[in-house]
Structure 1
Amino acid sequence: MASNSVIKPKTQAGKRALARREEKVIENTKSCLLIRGGNTSEAIGSCLKDLYSLKKPHALMLKRRNPILPFEEISFVEKMSRKYDCSLFAFASHSKKRPNNLVLGRLFNYQLLDMIEFGVEGYQPLCTFPVAKVPVGTKPCLSFQGEEFDSDPTLMAIKNLLLDMFQGPRVEKIRLQGLEQLIQFSYCDGQILVRSYRILLKSSGSKIPRVELSEMGPRFGLRLRRHKLATPEQSKQARRQPKVATIKKIKNIVPDDGLGNRLGRVHVGRQELDKLQTRKVKALKRPREDFNAADGKKIKKRRLSDNKKRKNKE
């Protein structure tokens, strides 16, 4: 009879591996699992290798071929994602019905969230561009051109998936010299054109440098074939954030313009300066001409009370 006890790691490497997979307020950088199908063409195989180069070091490429069909059976992908702790995957295959086929997808809690199938067209590999490449692990700038990315529901889901796939590690501060790569996605005639550029900062004679773009590859187009999007319940569960990670908004306090200061608005009621109590000195005493009619009645009452006191003394 099998026991339900949790097996504890016996080595330090095992403890570190379990610590990386523990629940965190801010999740780790998403890793991508790249899988080759049972049959691949030279173009789609080279495209998968170039995607691996763009995603390194947050990527893992399986060496063996795997004759699977993700849209029919996803269990193998889920099993490998759990084994290697990857929440993104890319599957490449080639057939007569679907030539140069590329499937990009995401997993949540090691279960399929969504995946989209593309046909790769007009592919030019990374090695054909004689330009110096960016260092491994560089966080790229992502650019999306086309109104359809903000209006069409399917393209909005594709944009969200591409952001997850290529955004790289999360950083708190960015320096100008660190902006070295630009990946551009343009929607044109039912096709998403993917271009990768190296950002060059040239001297301009002023503090602001002159920016030039040099294409470094790869270059290809993605034509939508099939898609399997997440249900509203799955999407809501995947986007849920813990209360610790959410920043509580403080009323009437706004940050200053990038200087690290905070400005607050204080609501003060109407102030009646005439009734303000000040120090009782002769210099601050008002003359009798300044008293209004109500104050004049008080003066008369005081005079009558003073006269009564004098009579009682006499």
Structure 2
Amino acid sequence: MVRVEKTKTRKGKRVLDDRAPKTIENDKKALFLKGNKTNEIINHAMMDLYDLKKPLAAKMDRHNPFHLFEDETVIERWGSKFDASLFVMGSNSKKRPNLLTFGRLHDGQLLDMAELRITAYQSASNFEVSKMTLGSKPCVVLEGSEFESDPDMKRIGNLFVDWFRGPTVSKVRLEGLETVIVFTAGKDEVLMRVYRTQLKKSSTATPRVELLEMGPSLNFALMRRKLADTSLFKEACKKPAALIAKRRKNLSEDVFGNQLARVHLGKQNTDAIQTRKVKALRDTPLVDDNEAEEDHGSDDEPMESD
């Protein structure tokens, strides 16, 4: 049974209108949760991830006895309450130490979820590099053949891109690209590194780009995962009909984004084309062959003398 939310205030009505389905959805917000128990590593790691996601993030400080792989309705209810389609929950126990569970929701239900165990961690405070500007859009890079060959790793890589891509923008200028987040896949492990870009002078118009690690630095071991089936994932990736560009006839695009068009012209009458009036292009009268011979013969007759 779907609960119909009603409000009596204008502010509440604006909130419901903002959460209503749209052709172009709002930027995805992440919800940070703590499990029943956490430790210093989990708290600092979640704080570093929270700094990367601000302002599209909401952090809960209380501990919650959630077991997401046993009961997923809890995170679905919290995602609907805080209008967040992304979430991460940190927990620590004797059997499962230093765990971060990343996940995402679609249409109010769980789509993908992956449990990662932190095997190595360096906080962003250990790197003496200027940090990420609030609200900037990072560049997310996936390295490793596992992101292409393994179906589960391919879905987890898509989860990371969806989680860290930041706000949706139409264009990004070179000076505005400040942060690069790199995920390197190995056998049952993922390495996360965050870099700060620096533009240096070069002999060409394009500057030389250098990367300085600014943290956090995390090594993850893949534990449990819960991924959506193919039909649900295709439904989540489906675009509204209003956003699908209509295909124009005889118009194509190459790999560089250049548009190539084919134009069909009818038969042209070249006789009616106005050309430049030059002596060589003027029409000369046609002369009959007999008349030409008579004229030639008259020239050969000797002239009579008086």
TM range (shorter): 0.7 to 0.9
Q: Distance in 1 between matches of 2:78 and 2:173?
A: 37
Q: Distance in 2 between matches of 1:206 and 1:241?
A: 40
**Match for 2:118: what amino acid?**
V
Q: Distance in 2 between matches of 1:14 and 1:69?
A: 32
Cα deviation 1:33-77 (Å, max 9, x = unaligned): 111001112111211111111111001111110011100011221
Query: Any idea what SS the aligned residue of 1:244 has?
Result: helix
Query: Any idea what SS the aligned residue of 1:54 has?
Result: helix
**Match for 2:94: what amino acid?**
K
Shift of 1:158: 0.6
Shift of 1:155: 0.7
Q: Distance in 1 between matches of 2:253 and 2:129?
A: 42
Cα deviation 1:78-117 (Å, max 9, x = unaligned): 1111110000110111111111011111111111111111
Q: Distance in 1 between matches of 2:4 and 2:188?
A: 51
**Match for 1:44: what amino acid?**
I
- Under a length normalisation based on structure 2, what TM-score does the superposition of the two structures give? 0.83
Is 2:213 the partner of 1:192? no
Aligned to 2:82: 84
Query: Any idea what SS the aligned residue of 1:64 has?
Result: strand
Cα deviation 1:275-304 (Å, max 9, x = unaligned): x7899xxx8799699xxxxxxxxxxxxxxx
1:41 to 26, 39, 42: 39
Structure 2 gaps, min length 5 = 275-281, 289-306
Query: Any idea what SS the aligned residue of 1:51 has?
Result: helix
How many residues of Structure 1 are paired with residues of Structure 2 in the alignment? 280
Query: Any idea what SS the aligned residue of 2:17 has?
Result: helix
Runs of 4+ in 1 over 4 A off after TM superposition: 4-8, 255-259, 271-274, 276-279, 283-289
Aligned to 1:10: 8
Aligned residues: percent identity?
Answer: 43
**Match for 1:225: what amino acid?**
M
Shift of 1:254: 3.8
2:261 to 258, 261, 264: 264
Aligned to 2:294: none
Shift of 1:262: 5.7
Shift of 1:7: 5.6
Q: Contact 2:146 / 2:186 at 8 angstroms: preserved in 1?
A: no
1:179 to 169, 173, 177: 177
Written as runs of structure 1 = structure 2, the 5 A alignment for 1:1-314 is 8-254=6-252, 263-268=260-265, 271=267
Cα deviation 1:170-224 (Å, max 9, x = unaligned): 1111111101000011123432110001111122354221211111100011111
Q: Distance in 2 between matches of 1:202 and 1:130?
A: 19
Q: Contact 2:88 / 2:103 at 8 angstroms: preserved in 1?
A: yes
Query: Any idea what SS the aligned residue of 1:132 has?
Result: coil
Shift of 1:15: 2.2
Q: Distance in 2 between matches of 1:116 and 1:213?
A: 29
Q: Distance in 2 between matches of 1:10 and 1:96?
A: 49
Q: Distance in 2 between matches of 1:122 and 1:201?
A: 30
Shift of 1:248: 1.1
Q: Distance in 1 between matches of 2:272 and 2:45?
A: 82
- Under a length normalisation based on structure 1, what TM-score does the superposition of the two structures give? 0.81
